[in-house]
Amino acid sequence: MFVNTPPLGWNTWNTFGANINEELILQAADAMIETGLKDAGYNYVVIDDIWALKERDQNGRLVPDPQKFPHGMKYIADYLHQRGLKFGMYSCAGYLTCAGYPASFEHEWDDAKSFAEWEVDFLKYDYCFHPVSVRADILYKRMGLALANCGRDILFSACSWGSDHTRRWIKETGASMWRSTGDIMDSWTSIRDIAQSQLKVMEYNGHGCFNDMDMLVVGMNGQGNVGLTGCTYEEYRLHFSLWAFMNSPLMIGCDVRQMDDQTRSILTNREILAINQDPDGRSPFFANSHVFTPAENRGPDDAFYKDYPLDTPILAKYLSNGDIAIGLFNLSDTEASMWQTTITFDMLGLPATSGKTLELHDLWNGEVIRAVNGVIQIGSCPAHDCRVFRAKVVDAD
Ligand code: GAL
């Protein structure tokens, strides 16, 4: 299935881990509607690992745990579909899922058939306990082909954590998104480490198959399955903004039934979501002005990025209406300096001879900054915070 924009939704794993059941899924779906998440675009409701019985039935089919899901999976699909939501499930390319439940190796076509019968719309496909005798790309192709022939549109969400050079082959498999990192935890260091690693694989992103930086921890506040220290409001805001800028699918991981106002205001910031969902789906690029990178220096990944300011990346992304999204993400532990917050037009592809300048609208506080002398001075950006703008090209006078 081909997608033009990164999928948006909610997934059980980050907060609930093994503690999932029908009631939770239905309540989460209701909450997504009542809190405005659905209206903001989040439409996938995804059941992650630990939903099945430990053994297949006598026909080799996966069996939903009847204690957790007494009415089976089609019942959940119907509930979600009646409310305009979509249904996601989870399996794995190995013998077992990561939590030790039956997985799809040598059952790919049977399982694709089950998912189609249950009217599933999305399959997250993990990589634990995989056979080492079969190449990674072949394992994902086996399920990609099975899904493409199951008689239903099922979005294929690959989750091999970027290992075995996933980026080189993932687009061949039919996947619409690929996990380009290991698992996120609810802490600042986890967010920062993923962000810095993902800045190095931005160019593999794009239409049809998006880099998946893992599910959001916004609003977890240290609670739940991957809850650690929790983060500040500013850190969550940066996390959300950066994932959005990088075209990552945005899968909410907190308990949507009990979001506080700050959490909701972050997750439903329409202008940030519009950057993520821009119909052109262009990759972001570095716009830090004090880094000079002649085109001929563009070697493979690490060589290319070694001089880049991974502590204070400034990203720009061309949008479909001619605007430019611009974001400064302060991943360092100190206030950003003037050098780190100044952008020259040449990095954005805007010539002085254009007779144009940029007017920047801050997407978190509404402030408007106008560029002067072909230079944008963003001003202050504290540690672990961000400044995110939509820049409009306007007449210079
Ligand atoms: C991991 C995966 C997580 C979650 C977990 C379930 O491999 O990265 O997102 O799905 O397995 O066991």
Task: Indicate if ligand 1 lies below 6 Å from the C-beta of 16.
Answer: no
Q: Answer yes or no: are the C-beta atoms of 226 and 255 closer than 8 Å.
A: no
Ligand 1 atom nearest to CA at 127 = 7
Mapped onto helix, strand or coil, the DSSP state of residue 377 is strand
Looking at ligand 1, which residue's alpha carbon is closest to its atom 1? 98
- Residue 360's DSSP bridge partners are 369, 391
Ligand 1 atom nearest to CA at 90 = 10
Q: Answer yes or no: are the C-beta atoms of 369 and 362 closer than 8 Å.
A: yes
Q: How far apart are the CA of 35 and the centre of ligand 1, in A? A: 27
Task: Indicate if ligand 1 lies below 6 Å from the C-beta of 350.
Answer: no
Q: Is 153 a catalytic residue?
A: no
Q: Answer yes or no: are the C-beta atoms of 299 and 354 closer than 8 Å.
A: no
Q: Is 260 a catalytic residue?
A: no
Rg of the chain (C-alpha set):
22
pLDDT tens track for 375-395:
999 999 999 999 999 999 999
Mapped onto helix, strand or coil, the DSSP state of residue 285 is strand
Closest to 310 measured CA to CA, from 172, 193, 392: 193
Given 65, 110, 164, 183, the catalytic residue: 183
Q: pLDDT of the chain along its 397 residues, tens only?
A: 889 999 999 999 999 999 999 999 999 999 999 999 999 999 999 999 999 999 999 999 999 999 999 999 999 999 999 999 999 999 999 999 999 999 999 999 999 999 999 999 999 999 999 999 999 999 999 999 999 999 999 999 999 999 999 999 999 999 999 999 999 999 999 999 999 999 989 888 888 999 999 999 999 999 999 999 999 999 999 999 999 999 999 999 999 999 999 999 999 999 999 999 999 999 999 998 765 454 445 555 554 555 678 899 999 999 999 999 999 999 999 999 988 899 999 899 999 899 999 999 999 999 999 999 889 999 999 999 999 999 999 999 8
Q: How far apart are the CA of 305 and the centre of ligand 1, in A? A: 29
> What is the reported pTM?
0.95
Task: Indicate if ligand 1 lies below 6 Å from the C-beta of 49.
Answer: yes
Task: Indicate if ligand 1 lies below 6 Å from the C-beta of 212.
Answer: no
Residue carrying structure tokens 């924009």: 5
Residues of 341-370 as b/e, b for ≥16 C-beta within 10 angstroms? bbbbbebbebeeeeeebbebbebbeeeebe
pLDDT score of 295: 46
pLDDT score of 292: 46
Task: Indicate if ligand 1 lies below 6 Å from the C-beta of 98.
Answer: yes
